[in-house]
Structure 1
């Protein structure tokens, strides 16, 4: 019945917008489908060896990273969100947006920076030896370890929890907190018995984002020598040259991600978090005084310093030491490569996002809902999985197009698409479609359908209505989605490592190469470029959000 309804909707609304939307959905789903099919293929000897001796360790390490990082990011992120939303203290307005800035530093860059700073010759141990007589025989925190990876992930992923929880508390918790105060509840009791329960949707949603970032990471875990499923995929691909085993690992990893989705849905099953009354009020911050004010300032300042200020200052110092050797023609070439690929992929993402979001809102039925869910499905998959799926799909496509290549004289290059930038761009589109799509969808929801219906009533078609009416109404959301998508692509490492053509480098891959060659200081300039672009984008997005709220 559902299938017949979908077919009927497609026939009734067939146009160019729908045709492009279906192509976009196919681009998103085909790489994922190619991974799913691998589960039914015959496993080889490498897979049997990994399954018997190594898979359990991969799973335990991955789950451990997700578990401990998740707990700590929630603790830090929710605490910061509550301090900023509920209290007033010195520099609060600065911390309100500054605590988001650690998102501009990719965890792999933070890992390289902190590992060098905390090493024997790093600035921290050197200062301790010269000032306090620290000796190598004394115990010291080993950053290149499992706890070190948790430390890095926590410091640079907590803003996901902080942003979503703070936004929720500022807008929807005022009435609950006021009632609790009237009933004589103390601040600690209000936090644990009121704030945490009503913030569950924001906390769980942001926690899922943190978990997806951890499980998809390759830069931190590989540099610290931690065996996770992501690192195993890279090792089987690059170390064993065994794409089949890497594909099977990706399939099992994808099954685990889907399991996380099911767990998240079960946690929220039959639970309602909406207010029982429409009389909601914004939270009015309470002025802190004395020790409480100092404690809030110290906590926010310590987190900001460790997660942004200290690593950025260290990178600036290293850049001053190495700029003459690093700022060469080759560096500007890889910068152009990075911006070029990111611009093309971002343009494709935003184009498909606008088309599909418009089709989905014009069909407020099950078909539109399914279409929108399928478009954002790629974001829940780690970059390594998408890279494997895209590679498998393009190899199969090249094999079927070999006769076409022969007609055009490409006898020595039967894998034409699989050795080009097309693969990397498609992978970016699959992975980051949700970033652009969610922004456009939110923009459409905010403006509603009144102006669109009025335009259609006057005889304008879908395309003319969009360019004459809708485009001007959602330009803020469109710009915000473009900024976020562009930054995410620039920071991406696993897919760039796996799918880039031969002799093609980006800022992220060059940074990883420097760090792998134990040249962390030389990695400072490309790292700073990525961070600078990200910071500018975060600030622009922050200002854009404030204008849209007015």
Structure 2
């Protein structure tokens, strides 16, 4: 399509739906542009010090953390995906869902839970001393290190690799595996020579999500004393009170993320395979017997226990110790704040997500559709600390532009009205999690197709009336699923909330982090359990949506 034809097409289709979609995409792009422009901003004395003595250490620490975590999550996630997809063993269906549950536990909650459990006065060492009379070597229980951080991230992020790899193995690799079996190849040969090469693109997609989550983290690295980029941004912003240097650090981190994204796309592009048949048959599982059955069962039990059941049980025990102290009027206000900010953000976000998805499905093959999809997906790959810098820059610029209006309304000169309100935090939530809501709605549209909407349009109904009368009743399940998934993400989000919340505004996530920072680990159990409860419900709906799409 020529440029003139494209302009005529957009002009002909331009309406309120398209205008709102384009506005949302542009707003999602603005914080990223502000951050990247920070690479060319003026240098300060603080930045020169950071660049000379600290920047290399931040980069190496972050890189080591990402590489270590990605490597371990690939080993654990791919192994579990292959076992669940290819073999039949006791409790396989239970483990298929149980391995998704660690997504309900934010890594920062897991970090302080395991940190306290494994400490000298923690439950594990206390049990060994009191019950068995053992005095264990502290070196084997020291989790407050780089290795400990990789351990935590691996246990609670491997589901990203597991989910994508398992889906691919079950649906896409069945024909290749069956052909190899007919040629007499054993299971080990099939896994190394067929399954792994075929799954490289899927594994790269899951690994890139893990890398983004690690770079987004602040709670684990702060609690374990690791000098990552995100921790450095917090230190520069709140320790040195130097926003310019924080923006530069955010720009460097964003450059690293763009590099990871490019590498992941190159891996996907170079690893393309065509199936020998158009019929996608499910993979037939082989029943395990004897020693191999029990070995696989023990491995699955160990991973499920370490990644979900043990930390949740420990938090539940701590909750019984502290509920009288924690459950008070302040906690009610804390819960109210969390629900308020979440509901407002989700409502606005889902309106925008539904609007964009409805526009894109009518122009799925166009350049406009491709650009819109990329823009609205951008926020989820940007760490919260980086995005908060960009949002802060955008909102402060807006406050400066509106200064004459504030003066006319009688506010004090130089007052930052929007920057001191919940607007900034809501704006950041919408940008960061728009992709989550959009993906859920898009799945709903793909399930229903366009035939009913097209029939409605042929009968003379407009786009808006068609949506409310035809589309919305059909996709309401997907919209509800999007609400729940976004709710989980907002409730457990820590870096964005810590950086952009108004003064004295606390949520479940910030309060849990505050308790942990003040060495009140036991008091952090109740807000942590509430966050995990929301996560479990969200994971269940995510699993249900995946099962529904598979039918």
Q: What secondary structure does 1:140 align onto? A: helix
What is the aligned partner in structure 2 of residue 54 from structure 1?
54
Instruction: Determine the structure 2 residue equivalent to 1:164.
Output: 164
User: What SS does structure 2 have at the residue aligned with 1:39?
Assistant: helix
User: Normalization by structure 1: what TM-score?
Assistant: 0.97
Distance of 1:140 and 1:432 partners within structure 2: 39
Q: CA deviation at 1:9?
A: 3.3
Alignment of 1:12-27 (within 5 A): 12-27=12-27
Partner of 1:126: 126
Cα distance change, pair 5–411 in 1 and its aligned pair in 2 (3 A): farther
In 2: Cα distance, 1:542 partner to 1:40 partner: 44
**Aligned counterpart, 1:418:** 419
Deviates more, 1:421-430 or 1:138-147: 138-147
* Alignment correspondent of 1:228: 228
1:248 counterpart = 2:248 = yes
Give the conservation status (yes or no) of the 8 Å contact 2:59–2:228: yes
1:137 and 1:299, CA in 2 relative to 1: closer, same or farther beyond 3 A?
closer
Structure 2 counterpart of 1:28: 28
| Partner residue, 2:103 | 103
CA distance in 1, matches of 2:123, 2:117: 5
TM-score, scaled to structure 2:
0.97
1:188-246, CA deviations, whole angstroms, 9 ceiling, x for partnerless residues?
Answer: 11111111111122211111100000011000001100001110000000100100000
Quick one: structure 1 residues 483 and 3, their matched pair in 2 at CA, closer, same or farther if it must change by over 3 Å? farther
Q: Is contact 1:78–1:162 with CA below 8 Å preserved after alignment?
A: yes
| Matched residue SS, 1:139 | helix
Equivalents in 1 of 2:503, 2:6: separation in Å? 43
What corresponds to 2:393 in structure 1? 392
Measured on the aligned residues, the alpha-carbon RMSD in Å equals 1.5
Contact 2:175 2:275 in 1 (8 A): no
Determine the C-alpha separation between the residues in 1 that align with 2:361 and 2:137.
65
Cα distance, 1:2–1:276 mapped onto 2, change above 3 Å? farther
1:413 Cα deviation from its structure 2 partner = 6.7
Structure 1 residues 311-350: aligned runs within 5 Å: 311-350=311-350
Shift of the 137–191 alpha-carbon distance from structure 1 to 2, 3 Å rule, reads closer
Task: Report the alpha carbon displacement of residue 503 of structure 1 after superposing the two structures with TM.
Answer: 0.5
Residues 309-352 of structure 1, C-alpha deviations (whole Å, 9 max, x = no match): 00000000000000000001111111111111111111111111
Deviations along 1:133-159, whole A, 9 cap, x unmatched?
433665323110000000000000001
CA distance in 2 between counterparts of 1:3 and 1:276 reads: 39
Gap regions ≥5 residues in structure 2: none
2:467 and 2:523 mapped to 1: Cα distance?
48
Report if aligned partners of 1:9, 1:367 keep a CA contact under 8 Å in 2.
Answer: no
* Structure 1, 409-418 or 220-229: larger mean CA deviation: 409-418
Structure 1 residues 128-137 or 247-256, which shifts more?
128-137
Aligned length: 550
Counterpart for residue 410 of structure 2: 409
Deviation at 1:424, TM superposition (A): 0.4
Contact 1:440/1:474 (CA < 8 Å) preserved in 2?
A: yes
> What SS class does the counterpart of residue 368 from structure 2 fall into?
helix
1:99-151: CA deviations, max 9, x gaps?
A: 11010000000001000000000011112223444336653231100000000
Q: Conserved in 2, the CA contact under 8 Å of 1:18 and 1:359?
A: yes
Q: Is the 8 A contact 1:173 1:281 kept in 2?
A: no
What does 1:85-234 correspond to in 2, within 5 Å?
85-135=85-135, 139-234=139-234
**Greater mean alpha carbon deviation, residues 64-73 or residues 273-282:** 273-282
CA change 1:419–1:497 in 2 (3 A) is: same
Quote the residue 1:370 is aligned against: 371
Residue 487 (structure 2) pairs with residue 486 (structure 1): yes
Partner of 2:355: 355
The answer to whether the Cα contact below 8 Å between 1:36 and 1:251 also exists between their aligned partners in 2 is yes
